[in-house]
């Protein structure tokens, strides 16, 4: 039995004393302990070495003490497993030397054997579960098919993913073939993660907000929904679409257990758009963690009041930034633990 199961209760629509809290990217770059390992090992070595991935996953549980752990990994391990080369370049971020630009390129993309290509992730999960020792639940994750396509086609990060969008609009058949391959791989991958021991999964649609509402339905949501449908019978699924408030009504009708909200959408609008009964997660602006600690605590309490303590998971509206002081991250978590219903 998990000792602190607040997070799972919130996903189950159960009443809670206070909402649970965790932070996207909590296992990472704002922690000096993480930076010490970063000095020694390159990015994908950290992802592919189960001992390192487990250690990094558990660091914030020991230091900041949120109510859930999220496995240290990256959304780009999926394209790597699918025969798409991905590097992490210093000061550039993800770099794909051979981006996908044609139907012929899509044919070269494989739906891999998950154990063969991504077995190291499952080993990391098992090791992490041992280290967590049932203290808190463990979340596994994957990128949305559209977000993975963005990198695979663009070849690197981008402000507008114009090449990726152009590919979808000029070669829709090839785009849909690629999206389906990514979807099939992601479903198999997340199912293995559940078997390995994660307690919930989150799908990150980081670049969903780049699409118009109509294109979002065609190139993103229908594929995310396939993942939700396939995984909902086996585990709790959270969907986080950054900038995708326009799709929240549609998302709320799916089998997802919770929806992530970014900081541009108010609690009131999020509750209104989702009909008021699905669990919501979010939506503190990550940059706001640079505010003075008393301000952070006050704003967190106001945020909980706005969302309501039930059917709610406190989180940031996107990943924590590298320049956030650890005591500010801790203040964010502590504010939730100190919350009293007025």
Does 151 count as an annotated binding residue? Answer: yes
Would 51 be classed as within a structural domain? yes
What pLDDT is attached to residue 109? 98
pLDDT band at 29; cut points 50, 70, 90: very high
* Structural domain includes residue 1: no
Domain span at residue 108 reads 6-337
What gap in Å lies between CA 108 and CA 83, rounded to an integer? 7
148-188 pLDDT per residue, tens: 999 999 999 999 999 999 999 999 999 999 999 999 999 99
Averaged pLDDT for residues 36-46: 95
Per-residue tokens: 82: 């699918």
User: Once rounded to an integer, what is the mean pLDDT over residues 318-336?
Assistant: 98
In a domain, 342, yes or no: no
Q: Is 327 annotated as a binding residue?
A: no
Residues 6+ apart with CB under 8 A from 72: 27, 28, 46, 47, 53, 54, 56, 57, 124
The arithmetic mean of pLDDT across residues 86-90, rounded, is 92
Residue 65, in any domain of the structure = yes
Mean pLDDT over 234-262 rounds to 98
User: What's the confidence (pLDDT) of residue 100?
Assistant: 98
For the cut 80, the answer to whether the pLDDT of residue 261 exceeds it is: yes
Q: For residue 204, tell me if it sits in a domain.
A: yes
**Is 46 known to sit in a ligand binding site?**
no
Pull the structure tokens for residue 25.
């990217």
**Per-residue pLDDT, 193:** 98
25 annotated ligand-binding residue: yes
In a domain, 124, yes or no: yes
Is the pLDDT score of 342 beyond 70? no
Q: What is the CATH number of the domain that holds 121?
A: 3.20.20.210
Does 319 belong to an annotated binding site? no
189 is in an annotated binding site: no
The answer to whether residue 221 scores a pLDDT higher than 80 is: yes
Domain count, the chain: 1
- Block residue for tokens 């579960």: 129
Residue 128 covered by a domain: yes
278-295 confidence digits (pLDDT tens): 999 999 999 999 999 999
pLDDT in tens, 191-203: 999 999 999 999 9
């Amino acid at each position: 039995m998990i000792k602190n199961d607040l997070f799972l209760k919130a996903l189950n629509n159960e009443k809670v004393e206070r909402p649970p809290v965790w932070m996207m990217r909590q296992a990472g770059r704002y922690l000096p302990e993480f930076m010490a390992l970063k000095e020694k090992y390159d990015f994908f070595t950290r992802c592919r070495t189960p001992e390192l991935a487990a250690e990094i996953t558990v660091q914030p549980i020991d230091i900041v003490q949120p109510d859930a752990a999220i496995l240290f990994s990256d959304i780009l391990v999926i394209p790597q497993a699918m025969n798409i080369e991905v590097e992490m370049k210093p000061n550039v971020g993800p770099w794909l030397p051979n981006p996908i630009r044609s139907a012929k390129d899509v044919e070269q993309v494989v739906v891999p054997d998950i154990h063969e290509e991504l077995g190291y992730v499952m080993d990391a999960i098992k090791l992490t579960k041992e280290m967590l020792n049932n203290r808190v639940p463990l979340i596994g994750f994957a990128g949305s098919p559209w977000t993975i396509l963005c990198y695979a086609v663009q070849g690197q990060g981008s402000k507008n993913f114009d090449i990726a969008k152009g590919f979808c609009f000029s070669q829709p058949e090839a785009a849909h073939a690629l999206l389906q391959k990514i979807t099939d791989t992601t479903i198999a991958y997340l199912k293995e993660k559940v078997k390995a021991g994660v307690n919930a999964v989150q799908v990150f649609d980081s670049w969903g907000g780049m699409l118009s509402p109509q294109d979002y339905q065609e190139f993103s949501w229908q594929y995310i929904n396939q993942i939700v449908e396939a995984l909902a019978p086996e585990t709790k699924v959270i969907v986080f679409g950054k900038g995708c408030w326009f799709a929240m009504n549609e998302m709320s009708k799916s089998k997802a257990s919770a929806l992530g909200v970014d900081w541009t959408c108010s609690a009131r609008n999020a509750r209104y758009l989702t009909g008021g009964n699905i669990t919501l997660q979010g939506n503190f602006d990550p940059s706001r963690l640079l505010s003075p600690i008393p301000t952070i605590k006050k704003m967190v309490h106001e945020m909980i009041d706005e969302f309501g303590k039930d059917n709610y998971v406190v989180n940031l509206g996107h990943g924590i930034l590298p320049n956030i002081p650890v005591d500010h991250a801790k203040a964010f978590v502590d504010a939730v633990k100190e919350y009293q219903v007025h």
